[in-house]
Chains A and B, each alone.
Chain A
């Protein structure tokens, strides 16, 4: 009876109906959620969806690049030059630009990085023990930056003191002798330190011993992570920046050949990281400084800035996974495959 009364008051009834209709049109009650999933869902090993769209950092080429040898000769000269010194060693001169750069860390996920030469990790610097290293840092970014090399050098070249920070628009030249032989890293030491490392300012610094190591298929692997929402926890973990990249594009090696991996960990916010290779064992040379292996194992743990040279020969052909055995990291992107060919 009262419902009918409502309809005798057309103004109220109409108002009520319009309000409800309007609401329903814009915010319908949803019953969805049970429709069949599209066939698009792949059932691969990786959790990410889609493909990388930025191609200005190629994790495949990074594996085997040092001293800008991935660039054409003309282009390379802008960043790297070498000249013979009277004592038979080389003077290696680098031009490194610190810039603000948006990088892709998982398909479709972009991170506002600070990067040496616009790449994370920065370019690999490689010399022979006794060479002279001269690095020009040009700060084109919006913050102060520096380069702090692991290895022997004088205090003035340490890049860790506030007065050694390079202001935006300024530059500084680091010079020192490459020693000791081994696998090292370099990184920004400006404060707040953890921010500068988390943003991507780090790279590999390889010093070869005077007596060449055995010829091998050499691979450079920098373990890193990205806190994309800046809440103090990493959303993306990877080896060489792009989550799951080598899971979709396995690293090709030959059965029985000597494979040498230069592995370093620069993950911020987590105390430890690791690398585990399936179905094989390797010799570990901690920090790459000694000629005798420090372990024969299939997994090593690394704290931040720790690094090791790993040598192995894959025993059987096929696909072998490698990943952090902090399994949480592996499901957040730090997982890939070796494809061992006969």
Chain B
């Protein structure tokens, strides 16, 4: 009972303090000293023929009232679901406007105090709606940039099978290099999104949560697993590692799919064939990473396992493209990317552990370092075609 009181007391006092602060405190003084901070973030712009729907959120501390809307520097009639927005409240603005395809579109909101918020769509194209045409085309995009390359990469299995110990280590190191590159790539994407999502959602903190949640979860499971493995030899360490790698790559590819799908749907990129080829070359290397641990294990590199591994790693690209294309949300893209980073981090640590276990003295051999750097380099060169 005493413990309970001691535990709750500071919380009660804090509540009282906040209440008195709001009632009498210097807040009034602060408010008059500084003008209200009005900020509005654009969440989504949906374009249909002659129609525009703009989703906004008030991500500032103070209330904002949207009074007028300009499109391409002209006042335009609109209907807003709610014109006065408190902190974190959302609204959708509906406009009728004969916008031109393939041309830029500027949307400007004017608040009651004359502050303006602007959103530019670089190339206006109709927003995809989930009809069969788009479902199929997004699936194809996912297939091309995710599934097929991963499966192609798996075809290197026979090569890896018959390699000497040294070259095998080389490829394991190469895998680490590939994964580290993906990790940095995903992290960069996540930080870019963190700058774009509403400030109040604290994108960078969300990245931390997104990274450590899967990393620590996988770590805890892995530990339990290795104990189980000793007890009843459930699933081999190497096969487990391959599944982990393909899961991590799958999460990463989901983030990639999200990015492609959403960029495509908001007209920021047109998927030219060069871009698709670039992604294919980039992702084909992911296949090596998946099969490296099990290449030398008899009875583990069966067709069944390979198919499953390929699907786990490549399939999420399609799902990501669908989600990104139809229900675009920067917040969820950021979370998927961060989770991918956490998963990759876990896998990298596991591969290094795996190599360490079988290494005679050190893992920092010339071969291994060369492999690692080659991994980074391959990703860099194939990445040149992507953006």
A interface list, Cβ under 8 A from B: 1-2, 5-6, 8-9, 12, 15-16, 19, 23, 26-27, 29-35, 37-38, 40-44, 46-50, 105-112, 226, 228-229, 231, 235, 243-244, 328, 331-333
Contact = CB atoms under 8 A, between A and B. Distances in A.
B79 A34 contact: no
A47 B77 contact: yes
B199 interface: no
Interface stretch (B164-172, B173-181, B323-331): B323-331
User: Which one of A8, A43, A48, A105 has the greatest number of beta carbons of chain B within 10 Å?
Assistant: A48
A260 B113 CA distance: 36
B74 interface: yes
B279 interface: no
A41 B79 contact: yes
A332 B75 contact: yes
Given A106-B75, A110-B114, A332-B73, A31 B326 contact: yes
Interface residues of B, number: 53
Interface string B99-117: 0000000000011111110
A2 B116 CA distance: 50
Contact of A107 (B44, B68, B331): B68
B67 interface: yes
B225 interface: yes
27 contacts: A1-B243, A2-B243, A2-B247, A5-B224, A12-B220, A27-B201, A29-B327, A30-B55, A30-B327, A33-B53, A33-B92, A34-B46, A40-B79, A41-B78, A41-B79, A42-B77, A46-B75, A49-B68, A49-B78, A49-B79, A106-B68, A108-B67, A109-B110, A109-B114, A110-B113, A228-B114, A229-B116
A37 B79 contact: yes
Contacts of A40: 79
B76 interface: yes
A228 B115 contact: yes
Contact of A29 (B69, B209, B329): B329
Nearest to A5: B221
Nearest 10 Cβ contacts at the A-B interface: A228-B114, A47-B75, A108-B67, A33-B46, A331-B74, A33-B53, A37-B94, A38-B79, A12-B217, A109-B67
Given A2-B221, A2-B243, A31-B326, A107 B92 contact: no
Interface in B114-159: 114-116, 127, 129
Given A16-B217, A41-B77, A49-B68, A23 B335 contact: yes
Nearest to A42: B77
A25 to B, nearest CB: 12
B67 A50 contact: yes
Interface string B70-89: 10011111110001000010
A1 B244 CA distance: 11
Contact of B68 (A6, A38, A109): A109
Nearest to B65: A108
Contacts of A110: 112-114
B300 interface: no
Contacts of A231: 116
Nearest to B54: A33
B48 interface: yes
B138 to A, nearest CB: 15
Interface in B311-370: 323, 326-327, 329, 331-332, 335
B213 A328 contact: no
B63 interface: no
Contact of A27 (B74, B115, B331): B331
Interface of B: 43-44, 46, 48, 51, 53, 55, 65, 67-70, 73-79, 83, 88, 92, 94, 96, 110-116, 127, 129, 201, 209, 213, 216-217, 220-221, 224-225, 235, 243-244, 247, 323, 326-327, 329, 331-332, 335
Contacts of A37: 51, 79, 94, 96
Contacts of A31: 326-327
Nearest to A28: B329
A235 B244 CA distance: 56
B64 to A, nearest CB: 12
B85 to A, nearest CB: 14
Contact of A333 (B75, B76, B323): B75
Given A23-B335, A107-B68, A235-B116, A32 B53 contact: yes
A2 B228 CA distance: 13
Given A26-B88, A47-B77, A49-B69, 5 more contacts: A29-B329, A30-B43, A30-B329, A41-B94, A50-B67
B78 A34 contact: no
A27 to B, nearest CB: 5
A163 B287 CA distance: 80
A49 to B, nearest CB: 6
Contacts of B243: 1-2
Contacts of A16: 213, 217
A108 B112 contact: yes
Given A27-B201, A33-B55, A48 B213 contact: no
A231 B118 CA distance: 13
Contacts of B213: 15-16, 19
Contacts of A109: 67-68, 110-114
Given A15-B213, A106-B110, A332-B73, A228 B116 contact: yes
A108 B43 CA distance: 24
B117 to A, nearest CB: 9
Contacts of A34: 46, 48, 53, 129
Nearest to B216: A12
A9 B114 contact: no
Contact of B76 (A12, A15, A47, A112): A47
Contacts of B44: 30, 33
Contact of B77 (A44, A105, A235): A44
B94 A38 contact: yes
Contacts of A15: 213
Contacts of A12: 216-217, 220-221
A26 B220 CA distance: 29
B257 to A, nearest CB: 15
A23 B111 CA distance: 28
B157 to A, nearest CB: 22
Given A1-B235, A2-B221, A33-B92, A226 B79 contact: no
